Amino acid sequence: MIAQRHIIASVYVGLFFGIGIYLPFFPVWLAGRGYDAAFIAVALSVPLLARLCTQPLGGLVADRTGRPRLTVILYSLASALCFLAVLAAPGPWTMLAALGLASVFWQPTLPVLDAYTVARRRAIGLDYGRTRLWGSVSFIGGSIAGGAMLGAFPGDGVLWLIVAGCLACALLALPLEEAATPGTRRETVGGRIPAVLLVGLGAAALVQGSHGVLYAFSSLHWQAKGLSGGAIGALWAVGVAAEVALFHVGTRLTRRLGPPLLIALGGACAVIRFAAMGLDPPAALLPLLQMLHAGTFACTYLGMVELVARHAPAGRGASLQALATWGVTIGVALCTLVAGPLWGRIGAGTFFLSAGLGAAGVLLALITHRLREREPG
């Protein structure tokens, strides 16, 4: 029998394969259909804004029903159907509606899976960072596959790969154990959400939100600089490879620094990374800047997940992981919306907006660290 920790890792693989295609290449797909930068910014913001109203529900459903496995499976199947609707949409407005609906199901899958994984780590001897890194490895595979598909089939091939990733996630989740865990159980347990958690999640939202410009316009910018689809996919792969390395040592790093300082480190890396990208550096420097993704994303993400794991009231793990992701959604959505008009005026200088968000995240994370010292948890 395959160990449950291996099954959980495989579900991350299925989920992140599609994400590894969507982030680098969905904007390119939109541009290939003739949409300009302003519409692309709107299109990328629509799913983010749609999730503002629905994302916390994914974790709430898992907590209330005690059925995280079924939640992951149903959400993944629904996501596949919605992306098929994106492909079949007859016009831009119906495409935006289908894309918004896809986000209602696709993105809440991750916080539900994270809460399930964190809650199960003691019971099955699971290291969260080393389990989660397989999702990042799959992201690399998706980026490479998307770049190859874009070169060979410049039409709708990347969208079909996203659909395949959603279906794979549902299939790989079938062997998960549905046993109730401290983070996913049927009974509703009350409890005050501590200030250290709320402030810390705000810090994480700022740092993660700083990626909005990167997600929306980096692939298009690199393409305009003459980089091929394969080279763009490789740049994304470099960043996520650094993320994988960080996740591999993530448990030890979390124990040494603690969640607030991990988030602060991520924010500091965002200041350096995005300020440099705002200067529109030569292509030869891009791989080095992409390696800072280990800090801007992985450190911040680990800090956020561990902050919830340590401070969430009993029985609210999935709900609060979803709330954390909801905060990130707000940050990315606002950054993306502001970035659209800015990019049309100042181009790569828009990355200075991301650097500013990273700096604000550092400040809030340091406040969280002080609160943690005063507030037991």
Q: H-type helices in the chain, by residue range? A: 4-32, 37-65, 68-88, 92-106, 109-124, 128-152, 157-172, 195-209, 212-224, 229-248, 250-257, 259-278, 286-291, 293, 300-311, 317-346, 351-374
Q: H-type helices in 92-187, by residue range? A: 92-106, 109-124, 128-152, 157-172
Query: What's the pLDDT at 185?
Result: 44
Cα 1 from Cα 17, distance rounded (Å): 25
What does each of the 377 residues of the chain score in pLDDT, given as a tens digit? 468 888 999 999 999 999 988 988 888 888 888 888 778 888 887 887 777 777 666 666 666 666 788 889 999 999 999 999 999 888 889 999 999 999 888 888 888 888 788 877 767 778 888 898 899 889 888 888 888 877 676 678 888 999 999 999 999 999 988 755 444 444 444 557 788 888 999 999 999 999 999 988 898 899 888 888 788 888 988 988 898 899 889 888 988 999 999 999 999 999 999 999 999 999 999 999 999 999 999 999 999 988 988 877 766 666 777 778 888 878 887 888 888 889 988 999 999 999 999 999 999 999 999 887 565 54
Class of the CATH domain delimited by 4-374? mainly alpha
Query: What's the pLDDT at 1?
Result: 47
User: Residue with structure tokens 């992985």?
Assistant: 298
Domain ranges of the chain: 4-374
Cα 210 from Cα 214, distance rounded (Å): 8
Query: What's the pLDDT at 371?
Result: 84
Query: What's the pLDDT at 188?
Result: 44
pLDDT of 95-131, one tens digit each? Answer: 999 999 998 888 888 888 887 888 777 677 788 888 9
pTM score, whole prediction: 0.74
